[in-house]
């Protein structure tokens, strides 16, 4: 899921309000991991490659 302007605005608004509170912050992070990663089947998960350059790609 790419970052968009509305998502960024909502996230920042949360970060500087309720996100200041440790337990809420941690619960939010857990919910994100569950919703974006763990709930998806392995084949449905799209994770951007974090690979850097490898000469074997040439």
Partner 1 sequence: MLAQIAVNSVPRALGLCDRDKHSPTYGCVDRAYWNYRTTDMANARMQEGGLLFAMAWRQTGVGANMFAGKKVMDEWARAAWRFWLSRRNGDGSVNEVYPFERSFCATSFSAAAFVETLLLAGGAKEWEKEITQARNTMEWLCENRNPDVANQMAASALALKGYSVITGDRRFLLAAERRRDEVLKSAYEDGIFGEYGGLDVGYQTITMSSMARYMVIGGGDTAVEEALMKGEKLVNERLDEMGRPDSAQNSRNTQFVYPYALALLKSDSMERIMAGLKVSASLNPAWMDDRYFTPLAIDYIFAEACL
CB-based contacts of 45, cutoff 8 Å, min separation 6: 37
Binding site for partner 1 (CB under 8 A): 1-5, 7-8, 46, 48-50, 52-53, 55, 57-58
Instruction: Supply the minimum distance, in Å, between the C-beta of residue 10 and partner 1.
Output: 11
Map tokens 């998502």 to a residue: 7
Q: Which is nearer to partner 1, 2 or 16 (CB)?
A: 2
First to last CA, the chain: 29
Instruction: Supply the minimum distance, in Å, between the C-beta of residue 15 and partner 1.
Output: 12
């Amino acid at each position: 899921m790419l970052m968009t302007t509305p998502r960024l605005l909502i996230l920042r608004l949360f970060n500087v309000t309720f996100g200041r509170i440790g337990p809420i912050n941690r619960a939010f992070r857990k919910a994100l991991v569950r919703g974006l990663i763990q709930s998806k089947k392995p084949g449905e998960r799209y994770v951007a490659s974090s690979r850097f350059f490898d000469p074997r790609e040439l």
